Chain A
Amino acid sequence: MNSANVNRSRSLTITDIQQFLLRGRAFIALILVLIVFTSLAPQFLSPENIVIMSKHVAINALLAIGMTFIILTGGIDLSVGSIVGLTAMIAGGLINEGIILPQFGIIAYPHTWLIVVISLALGTLMGAISGFIITRFNVAPFIATLGMLYVARGFAGLRNNGYTFANIVGKPELGNTGFEILGAGSFLGINYSIWIMGIFALVAYIVTTRLPFGRHVYSIGGNERAAELSGVRLARTKIIVYSISGFCSAMVGLIIASQLVAAHPATGDSFELNAIAAVVLGGTSLAGGRGSIGGTLIGAFVIGVLGDGLVMLGVSSFWQQVIKGAVIVFAVIIDQVQARMQEKIALQKQQAIK
């Protein structure tokens, strides 16, 4: 689209430059943030620090990827943080306590792999339940997932009466060791969680751009009625979308529990807000239908880098919150400015043709 523009008038006008800056704003913001922090704190871009930051980013990015699908359909998922906590507790409990089968008088300790699968399935199921409630009973996504936020957090606490499952490394004689590898292990010198983020992002990118399902997601956010009349299965698509978010949340729950080698019931508290912020920063419209996985990834990096950088500079945590909040609102304001400018430019182009 842009190339046609450039071809017609070789000379760059001011509006062209404005457009370019506005479109790439998330990326520009990321670079700016990096430059500022590097100049203020020289150790900012040291290899060790990059690894730490990437690990933080990966967690938020995974949640934000799931959230992107939901927001593209025009929905919202407030339950991701709680599902993170619940899956962490479930995985921790399975390792430390196993599955107690009283009628046989035995305790089964599932293999670590099986624990991962069970936890992921549970998170997916929680998402699917939200999706089902939203579509079957026509409950607003905000309310349905708000309910799920409380329910999942409650279960996370109930699992061990509010206590932490500590030292979840398993026992060799039970054959359930190795859970900590997920958080600590690395491949080619890069932490597994970063690999997982990369793989999830790639798959999500392909799904949103190349699969019919992805297109249905966009169409629901753009014009739900038109999508339905075209034969898009609204209920099914939405339930899958919420399941994806649940799956991503469960993955994050496992990663955090593994990194800490412990499962705490408050794990993931208020993570949903970070995820939503990353999605919005990445240019995805909360009204649905507009946005991309790439944008979300950049958004997650901006938030992560901003957070870690401010910590390194010794900015108080209260100021960190103020700055983060201002950045998010500012990003959305710019988003609106860009939308209006694009409309104006489209109008001018049409009138030029006539």
Chain B
Amino acid sequence: MNYFKASWAAMGAALLVAACGGGGDGNQTPRVAFTSMVSFGDSLSDVGTYRVGPIAAAGGGRFTVNPGVVTTPTIWTEYVALQIGLTSCAARSGGFGSAEKPVSGCRNYAQGGARVQNPKGVGNSVGVGFIAGPLTEPVVTQLANYAADNGSENFTDKQLVTVLAGANDIFGLTDQLKLDATAAGNAAFAQSLVGQFVAGAPAANQAAALGAIGLAVQTEAAKPAATATSIVGAAALAAGTHAAMNGYSNSAVANAAAIGAAAGAAAVTAGNTYAATTGAGIAVAGMATAGTTLAGYVRDKIVAKGAKYVAVSNLPDVSLTPSAASDPSTQPLVKAMTVAFNKALQDGLASTPGVIMIDAFANLQDQVANPARYNLTNVTTPSCAIASSLTCTSATLIAGDTSRYLFADGVHPTPYVHKLQAQLVATYLAKAGWL
């Protein structure tokens, strides 16, 4: 009986406690006591490398809608760092006219425009040492920067390392593809043009005419101001001149306009064919190489150097960005390049201890396919009225409520979507038992 009496008393007390119960925060401490967070990558992780000179003066520095107060978290790396009781601040400062300098105590090495290995990032046609625009130091250099700041290449077992790069390799490789396709088109144009004009000469004169017309086309095409019309004109002139000097008649000269049009069509066909076949193959293979290279950096320069907590994000589906969508002819290629990179990255990091792979690719696809799930009001239109979000602020937004837009500019997400990305990353960290 005594036992039950005690029990009832306890229950009565519980009822009294219950009456004045209230909610609480619970345990907010992460399961792993991280001492620092180190980030490598590009503009998607950059928290203000270029917040200098004219960029800072314009209120910019991050590749999104920049907040009015610089310390306001805006990029996913900042949200994640705050969640584990740390901060994410740019480890390098410079570019856009300012010399590069390290920022003491800061460990976010990501730089807008940066590629995996190639120092010629987006906006940097010079490469190493370029400070007139974005520094775009690639991930491999960012790792060297870390080693220099840290006094050692080593990581500790209490650091959270984040890696997200590769998008600028898409832009670099597609830019190269466009150049190569144009070159292929130009070559086809010249070949078609010369061939047609040579065909207008009598058979006996064709070999000599070929030399003269070919030289004229080559010479004109090499001029910076050359146009298709000027090249056609140069070819027609050379054909006519060669005929007059050698006492024959070239029937093609009178048809110069039609010949030019035919050559132009041949050029377009050749350019497109190159872009769709050889060029596309090179671009996709280039992305696979970049993915493999990045995976190698993570394995050899991060995990092998002691890091135990490494979060690697794959590339979001870049083909869904407004920039890619604006060119439907290359959109499938951009997707193929993204997929090739992600597969190589995934394969290269399979079962690497301490590495979790964050599927940003599928997440962006779901955001675009089902915007309501994420409270997104627009998944196609950039919210910034200016081309690059690097200097975008609330003062340079398009009209209307853009707070739940997906994109800030042609390729970068809004702060709202950065927060969603942080939540996605947090999900993976929590599932791994790190949060």
Q: Does A associate with B in a complex? A: no
Residues of B within 8 A of A (CB): none
